[in-house]
């Protein structure tokens, strides 16, 4: 048991692993992280799966079986992804049950090609959640304009949603509004309000985007300030009468999740963002390397201030340096969507290569 990760857990912050692959499951590594490192959930995205499936041979046998069923391309990918994520969901089911559905979740993203198609996203989200057959599977939908329409309707229909690719307080506020509207519609329709959602704020990408264009005193400060300002808005929402009415009717809050917590700057501490964003009630998703680093030498100090602390002062400094944080947030979201589309294309290409190899070598796709 790591005292460092346990300290964060005891402070009220959930630690979710931002990683999935078959070896993590087959070797018992994920089960060990749950038992020893206080990990209580897991997230995935197209980039993670592109690396997991596209490199090595851990999925070859499963690909062979899926090919025999006639699955190709996206259908093949989602078959493989759901095999992994349902296994992970089962490992987290005791946590899910013990926390009454507050924790113990795993996440699967809809195709990034749907980022600007609301109707197709709503349909895909419902289908994937139903196929998984696990109550603790969140469907990730990007916080684009079209994605937020899908977020509201999906939650209204009862699909648990992880709103991803949020980069600013304003992005978070739009996701929170979609969540509130969905629950208010459910209340008006006489439906159960217990539909889970998390809002994923990407932190480290702010600093990575500016690393070459600003002087050293400004390095690795903007992402944390943006997160602090968003946390203040989140706390204000939870104290509002609008939310309190929903909570009194049985609703659970849309939890704030810190994503992109791996340090991109080799000159900064490898636990920089995890230590800076410790806050009760929130979720920190950690790449495996960051999780292991924090388990080894992470420090839990003061919690994130509910009033936003020095966030506004830092943002004013960056604006005086000519940084337009609204424009940068919009750019980062566009780049985030484009990055996942690129990973999706690479993933589909690798799957086609493996399928071609299996077709040429029947022994490969029909393992004994």
Token couple for 326: 């609204």
Q: How far apart are CA 279 and CA 302, in angstroms?
A: 9
Report the DSSP pairing between strands 283-286 and 39-43. unpaired
Q: How far apart are CA 31 and CA 95, in angstroms?
A: 12
Among 347, 346, 260, 281, which Cα is nearest to 18's?
Answer: 260
Q: How far apart are CA 328 and CA 334, in angstroms?
A: 10
DSSP 8-state secondary structure symbol assigned to residue 201: E
Check 140, 194, 264, 354 and give the catalytic one.
140
- In contact, 268 and 220? CB cutoff 8 Å: yes
Q: How far apart are CA 113 and CA 339, in angstroms?
A: 11
Q: What are phi and psi of 204, to 5 degrees?
A: -65, -25
- In contact, 231 and 306? CB cutoff 8 Å: yes
- In contact, 80 and 59? CB cutoff 8 Å: yes
Q: Is residue 140 annotated as part of the catalytic site, yes or no?
A: yes
Token couple for 190: 């006489």
Among 4, 1, 8, which Cα is nearest to 33's?
Answer: 1
State the number of CA atoms in the 13 A half-sphere of 307 facing the CB: 3
DSSP 8-state secondary structure symbol assigned to residue 360: H
Q: How far apart are CA 309 and CA 287, in angstroms?
A: 27
DSSP, collapsed to helix, strand or coil, labels residue 102 as coil
CB atoms within 10 A of CB 301: 8
CB atoms within 10 A of CB 73: 12
The residues carrying an active-site annotation are: 140
């Amino acid at each position: 048991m790591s005292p460092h990760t346990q300290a964060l857990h005891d402070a009220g912050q959930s630690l979710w692993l931002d990683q999935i692959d078959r070896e993590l499951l087959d070797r018992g590594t994920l089960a060990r992280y749950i038992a020893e490192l206080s990990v209580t959930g897991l997230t995935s995205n197209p980039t993670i799966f592109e690396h997991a499936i596209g490199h090595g041979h851990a999925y070859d046998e499963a690909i062979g079986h899926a090919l025999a069923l006639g699955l190709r391309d996206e259908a093949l990918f989602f078959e493989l992804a759901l095999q992994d994520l349902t296994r992970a969901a089962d490992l987290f089911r005791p946590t899910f049950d013990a926390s009454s559905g507050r924790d113990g979740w795993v996440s699967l993203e809809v195709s990034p090609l749907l980022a600007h198609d609301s109707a197709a996203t709503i349909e895909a989200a419902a289908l994937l959640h139903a196929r998984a057959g696990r109550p603790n599977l969140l469907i990730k939908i990007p916080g684009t304009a079209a994605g937020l329409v899908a977020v509201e309707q999906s939650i209204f229909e009862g699909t648990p949603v992880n709103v991803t690719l949020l980069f600013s307080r304003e992005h978070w506020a739009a996701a929170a509004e979609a969540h509130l509207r969905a629950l208010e519609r459910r209340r008006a329709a006489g439906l159960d309000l217990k539909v889970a959602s998390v809002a994923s704020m990407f932190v480290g990408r702010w600093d990575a985007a500016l690393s070459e264009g600003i002087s050293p005193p400004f390095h690795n400060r903007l992402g944390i300030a943006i997160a602090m300002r968003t946390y203040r808005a989140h706390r204000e929402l939870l104290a509002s009468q609008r939310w309190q009415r929903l909570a009194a009717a049985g609703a659970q809050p849309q939890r704030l999740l810190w994503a992109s917590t791996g340090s991109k700057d080799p000159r900064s501490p490898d636990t920089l963002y995890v230590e800076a964003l410790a806050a009760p009630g929130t979720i920190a998703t950690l790449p495996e390397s960051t999780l292991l680093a924090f388990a080894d030498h992470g420090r839990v100090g003061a919690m994130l201030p509910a009033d936003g602390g020095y966030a506004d002062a830092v943002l004013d400094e960056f604006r005086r340096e000519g940084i337009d944080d609204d424009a940068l947030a919009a750019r980062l979201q566009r780049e985030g969507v484009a990055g996942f589309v690129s990973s999706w294309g690479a993933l589909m290409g690798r799957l086609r290569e493996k399928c071609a190899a299996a077709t040429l070598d029947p022994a490969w796709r029909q393992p004994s």
